[in-house]
Structure 1
């Protein structure tokens, strides 16, 4: 409910970003692999911002943005750095870093610090730094830092900032409360009802009928390049082969067969397995009493259950029973005939009362008897070893500059090349087509390769099926030539021109309504008589219950009565004209349970607002300045990096 309110009032909460640990490195450690970049000095100055007595370097900012990009690309594989930066990522990341530095600077001034011991305890909680035993592993820690191109000082400073931020901001937000009167007013807003209408003036109704000139279209295309960027595409050259490619694996020798037989003599020796029903009791007297009852004609299972005991069934050899119970129990059980009760015997678990349900005798098997089985087992191992040697040789050939064509010729297979693929496994330009199943496991690796013609070997089905693959053709994320998409660009230009005319029509409509003209008549007078109009008569609660709140509806619920506003539709599709005729206030009793619930929820949001205001006040307290030239340089460096 409160989320719904805040979407109407456009409030913003930034505390979550500030309190999060590891702003610089957290995303990097969450990602499975980060290629990274060497962010040294950037033109425009080495400092992106100054916060109190501290500076934020362009290298640190670039690295933080890149790490955030890689983390986001885990969720959206086709995301490009251009689109990421265009969404405001640099500003958002820099704001977070400024806040953390401002809080840290303030904390030092008032004596709030993070000790080395506390920083160490936080390090020990990061899964990427833990060894197989679940404890902090310094070697692994250093290895991860080297992989991410981070220093120990960077990581510890970042954790220190997070710890100080927590100590500074949590007390600010803690214990905030909201008066019941305010909570009641919020509750009444859910019952508030509004009446009005929403008209949509489509751009296509005002789009020009004449095509744009080449110069006009080229200028439009250049100004909107970011809208036409297609994701990075990579083709994969590959050759698939199976373990059948291993030819001429030798047969087992007599010595190997004899050795395998000797190593498993116990498995081929004569053996006896007995199936048993067993009950364990604590004393010898209880065991004898139970045995006597069975000897008198009772069933062991029923007699045991009648006493609250739980019998169990098992199948064991003498050696197994000796290990599980005791030699005495095994002697008693294997001395009893099939269908009889063994003499009660003791183990560390208690006294065993056992009935022999069945006896299975297994005759000894000679070397001649087991020969076929042994030959099969050894042959499988020999083939597996040969396959391991073979794949190792292929990998060595590839490492030394071999190519897929040569390997495929050696294997007797024909290499293939896929159509251009995007990072999410889709065939570019062919809806519904995806990466071949044999390549699904190597797709991510292909998109992490630094260039073309660097083949690798991978398993498709462990020990059975393999693939040699490489990036055959890499097309970086970029807009296609205008000639290639001219009809699409021309249509978008026409829509933009139509949107401008639709906006003018919306303004004329609003001006006519202000003079007392009804909405429908005002639309006609503005040349938008074909606009679709929908009457609105609903409460906030009803709107929220309908699911997603459309933007013009949200606007209607934030307007003053008897007012009219316009709102742009996405993608230059047109303009909305929103008219609010009447507001009918909602009523909520002071003792309604909803009031107390809202007071509690609003208290939490109030605490966040306090922390957000405090955060902004700290910026003013310590002083913040940004370096526009350095920020432009960071942007150019990131966008021009081929992502």
Structure 2
């Protein structure tokens, strides 16, 4: 039977039937995908959010890129959520970054540019986190770095390769960019520009409604602005602290231990002597002997050294062992045989012949066991504390590995389990202006990577104590129910409504000023009390003197307007609107030797260089071709929000 089918499929009729059957299977899979997702672009593994040249970007890849980008955002803002990230157009930014990278790789490949394995290996070896204790590249450190950054070796090589290709193409495109002298002069002269105008403030509070919204208004506002009311993820941390108090009397040394320690460190408690010297080293024994005789005759050692073109050095509080180690046994014997104030006999070391004058002798008498007991007890207690705490941590770690709970570990050792209120990822207690206990500061980031009820143990700073901790409760990031935040929603409704009315008022004021009214007259026509107008008279040079301080937004707008114009400007976070009027523009004279010209040339050259790089990146995309699938992108967005 099998032979019959093999022979049949070799015929033209059999081959045609096979091809038709394969087409039917493919159509069935495509139909099933469309029927299950409603449109091309669901989140199944074969769907594509974009095609860049010959490279396809899958939904899984975009989802991973968005998650990685969110993690980078959380390094600066630990309470950032996927909802706020996507509301800020983060998904499109992540996709744009993917497209830029892939277009760069595709385009450079077409022109024969590459980042080879040897170059990538060299870059990887320079990663500081991949270095071992010796400072050289270490495979284990590299693997730990990859795990910590949630990367694979292949993924890291892809990212490094794209970065190296960008260095070969985009950076040279803008390097050394220059601008015409006439443009530099025009730009430099703008620093001599002085502008006069007025700024009116229209705060949202002045226009906010005083009454409460209806239930319908409040519900509609809540539904339209759900992203405003997202609560960040918060976690309750359960923990137990273990320090020396958990060890009881076990850290107290016994008499036998004290005696043994005294015997093992007998040299420390024996009589000892340290000396300070003025020292001279000469090349020959005869020269050393001659100088020693001159010093014994009344000449100072320093004078004798100067007579031979030499210099003395000081040795302070040195023991016999110190001199032996630094010079030789012969020198140590000579230095410690002489009386205080005397000159030592010449003695040899690898450096030459030594002579010295003894400046001081400090003798410490021997101590008995009774005299040293308190010091020994303190030292032994610290040694036992460190060792027993280490043993305790290992014992607890073994218990946890065997399935013991936090409560069982704490109960066995007589310590209590404590619970924090809900904590945010940045360590702040949810809903309060205070932080979690200082002892938990280092473990809070770890707890936001853990599952509930899986205890871990960690050492606290200083090494004097340990903490066993686990996540008790997890409240995921989500929009808060309206009933729980009704007062907050009402406040936001008032503020947003006030901001919208302030915008309408700003538009009316702009229209009246453009029709010939003064700014003060236009403000007076409003039915609310507004702050007085601020008059502005400032030059660009004065703005530059602000340094790193941010230029106020209305002033920045003033320097972007045409003379005689009036514009409105939104205040961030729905706090109201500005109305800005530019009345006069003056330009001072610019000398040919003014350093502002060279400064303008440098600044504009850098800006033009960056623009060249951006234009080249855009040209790369146009050359290789980019197609986006809006349905698939939306499907990824829904998946990241948990709406699928």
Report the TM-score range of the alignment, normalised by the length of the smaller protein.
0.7 to 0.9
Alignment of 1:124-523 (within 5 A): 124-247=125-248, 249=250, 263-264=264-265, 266-267=267-268, 273-301=274-302, 303-304=304-305, 307=309, 309-359=311-361, 381-382=383-384, 384-431=386-433, 433-451=434-452, 453-460=453-460, 462=462, 464-523=464-523
Distance 1:104 1:437, change over 3 A: closer
In 2, distance between residues paired with 1:362 and 1:553? 75
Distance 1:461 1:93, change over 3 A: closer
In 2, distance between residues paired with 1:594 and 1:250? 72
Distance 1:537 1:45, change over 3 A: farther
Distance 1:632 1:365, change over 3 A: same
Distance 1:550 1:409, change over 3 A: same
Q: Is the 8 A contact 2:45 2:59 kept in 1?
A: no
Distance 1:471 1:137, change over 3 A: same
Of the candidates 620, 629, 632, which is equivalent to residue 630 of structure 1? 632
Name the Cα RMSD after superposition.
3.2
Partner SS, residue 467 of structure 2: strand
1:438 is displaced (CA, Å) by 3.0
In 1, distance between residues paired with 2:148 and 2:516? 69
Distance 1:360 1:48, change over 3 A: same
Q: Is the 8 A contact 2:235 2:471 kept in 1?
A: yes
In 1, distance between residues paired with 2:140 and 2:430? 42
In 1, distance between residues paired with 2:363 and 2:520? 97
Q: Partner of 1:13 in structure 2? A: none
Can you list the C-alpha shifts for 1:99-136, whole angstroms capped at 9, x where unaligned? 22222222111221122211111111111222222222
In 1, distance between residues paired with 2:272 and 2:197? 90
Can you list the C-alpha shifts for 1:541-582, whole angstroms capped at 9, x where unaligned? 334435432222222221222222222222323232222233
Q: Is the 8 A contact 1:43 1:633 kept in 2?
A: no
1:270 is displaced (CA, Å) by 6.1
Of the candidates 532, 552, 555, which is equivalent to residue 553 of structure 1? 555
Partner SS, residue 478 of structure 2: coil
Which region of structure 1 is more displaced relative to structure 2, 332-341 or 555-564? Answer: 332-341
In 2, distance between residues paired with 1:441 and 1:246? 24
Q: Is the 8 A contact 2:496 2:574 kept in 1?
A: yes
Distance 1:389 1:506, change over 3 A: closer
Q: Is the 8 A contact 1:228 1:480 kept in 2?
A: yes
Q: Is the 8 A contact 1:180 1:596 kept in 2?
A: no
In 2, distance between residues paired with 1:331 and 1:195? 88
Which region of structure 1 is more displaced relative to structure 2, 229-238 or 621-630? Answer: 229-238
Alignment of 1:484-633 (within 5 A): 484-525=484-525, 527=527, 530=530, 532-546=532-546, 547-633=549-635
Partner SS, residue 413 of structure 1: coil
Q: Is the 8 A contact 1:505 1:527 kept in 2?
A: no
Q: Partner of 1:54 in structure 2? A: 55
In 2, distance between residues paired with 1:93 and 1:227? 22
Can you list the C-alpha shifts for 1:340-374, whole angstroms capped at 9, x where unaligned? 21111221112211123445566777889978876
1:149 is displaced (CA, Å) by 4.4
Aligned length: 599
In 1, distance between residues paired with 2:492 and 2:534? 27
Which region of structure 1 is more displaced relative to structure 2, 310-319 or 522-531? Answer: 522-531
Can you list the C-alpha shifts for 1:136-165, whole angstroms capped at 9, x where unaligned? 223332343345443322222222211111
Can you list the C-alpha shifts for 1:433-488, whole angstroms capped at 9, x where unaligned? 3222333333333333232x223333336454333332223222333322232222
1:72 is displaced (CA, Å) by 2.9
Q: Is the 8 A contact 2:206 2:529 kept in 1?
A: no
Q: Partner of 1:30 in structure 2? A: none
Q: Is the 8 A contact 1:197 1:578 kept in 2?
A: yes
1:43 is displaced (CA, Å) by 4.1
Q: Partner of 1:114 in structure 2? A: 115
Q: What is the TM-score with the length of structure 1 in the denominator?
A: 0.84
Partner SS, residue 114 of structure 1: coil
1:602 is displaced (CA, Å) by 1.8
In 1, distance between residues paired with 2:322 and 2:530? 89
1:272 is displaced (CA, Å) by 5.1
Partner SS, residue 246 of structure 1: helix
Can you list the C-alpha shifts for 1:288-310, whole angstroms capped at 9, x where unaligned? 34323311223335654675513
In 2, distance between residues paired with 1:544 and 1:251? 67
1:193 is displaced (CA, Å) by 2.2
1:168 is displaced (CA, Å) by 1.0
Which region of structure 1 is more displaced relative to structure 2, 372-381 or 483-492? Answer: 372-381
Q: Is the 8 A contact 2:246 2:415 kept in 1?
A: no
Which region of structure 1 is more displaced relative to structure 2, 355-364 or 326-335? Answer: 355-364
Partner SS, residue 467 of structure 1: strand
In 2, distance between residues paired with 1:334 and 1:514? 99
In 2, distance between residues paired with 1:192 and 1:407? 73
Distance 1:44 1:524, change over 3 A: farther
Partner SS, residue 199 of structure 2: strand
Any gaps of 5 or more consecutive residues in structure 1?
1-40
Which region of structure 1 is more displaced relative to structure 2, 609-618 or 320-329? Answer: 320-329
Q: Is the 8 A contact 1:505 1:528 kept in 2?
A: no
1:595 is displaced (CA, Å) by 1.0
In 2, distance between residues paired with 1:270 and 1:202? 82
Q: Is the 8 A contact 1:230 1:477 kept in 2?
A: yes
Q: Which has the larger radius of gyration?
A: 2
In 1, distance between residues paired with 2:371 and 2:496? 86
